Amino acid sequence: MARRRMVYEGKAKILYEGPEPGTLIQFFKDDTTAGNGEKHEMIDGKGVLNNRLSEHFMSGLNAIGVPTHFIKRLNMREQLVRAVEIIPLEVVVRNVAAGSMSKRLGIEEGSPLPRPIVEFYYKNDDLGDPLVTEEHIIAFGWATQQDLDDMVALALRVNDFMSGMMMGVGIKLVDFKIEIGRVYEGDFQRLIVADEISPDSCRLWDLKTGEKLDKDVFRRDLGSVSDAYTEVAKRLGVMPRQNGSTTGPKLVH
Ligand code: 5GP
């Protein structure tokens, strides 16, 4: 059997060449990093949970007409996705002050924001992904004004969808990061959500207790990461069972 070609290896995922032109296989690793790779551990089963959770979020987005790269899940750790040209920006949407925004602006973590705030960070590990303005983005040619308008619209639709879904299972979507890529269809380009959406890239707080159910558990040494991610998967009904089926959502009233 021929060995498949690795296209890219990141901190938490590997991309392999897909079976058809324009497709890739995205493999979810157990590697967990924080602080630009300074803290690194293997968390048993994290890749399996993130594969399922990202499938759940992205297929839901596809179903309501928010385009994503997700095509189908292939197995416990892999999914088939569309190849995109990644825009070198991390798009962050915040509903509640936390993390770097709280630090930068001195706003207490947990303060609700008057409206969702969309931020852009330049994807560059050497620089630690700095916050950039629309002026920087356009001046340096990372995206056009039209792209920016489309990215904000996409990010806010993802926020509405994800906030509602999480609220239904008793979880507050505090903030999240997405990556967006270009696909070309004839003479046109379209922007679609790429990479992953998982507790690695979102802040998720239990609505009643405020308990953190996301990667901050790892970043801040707050307990078991796999317990936190498993709790999210269980509530959403996407906890993998031995026979490959899933549980079913547990609504919280
Ligand atoms: P902050 O800017 O407060 O550190 O992060 C805002 C949100 O974006 C959080 O939900 C965080 O998990 C996510 N985020 C920011 N940068 C990254 C990154 O480089 N990788 C991942 N996985 N998530 C990120």
Q: Pick the atom of ligand 1 nearest to 119's CA.
A: 2
Answer yes or no: is 157 within a domain: yes
Q: What is the rounded distance in angstroms from the CA atom of residue 200 to the CA atom of residue 165?
A: 17
Task: Give mean pLDDT in consecutive 10-residue pieces for the chain, a chain of 253 residues.
Answer: 86 97 98 93 97 98 98 98 98 98 98 98 96 98 98 98 98 98 95 98 98 97 97 92 62 64
- Distance from residue 177's CA to the centre of ligand 1 (Å): 6
**C-alpha torsion sign, points 37, 3, 75, 181:** positive
Rounded Cα–Cα distance for residues 214 and 116 (Å): 20
Structural domain tally of the chain?
2
Same domain, 101 and 78: no
Q: Which residues' Cβ are closer than 6 Å to ligand 1? A: 90, 92, 98-101, 129, 175-177, 200-203, 215
- Index of the ligand 1 atom closest to the CA of residue 174: 10
Residue 194 lies in a domain: yes
CA 1 to ligand 1 centroid distance, Å: 39
Range of the domain at 62: 6-84+225-236
18 and 29 both lie in a single domain:
yes
Using most ligand atoms within 8 A of CB, pick from 32, 201, 202, 222 the residue to mutate for ligand 1. Answer: 201
Note whether 143 and 193 are same-domain residues: yes
pTM of this structure: 0.95
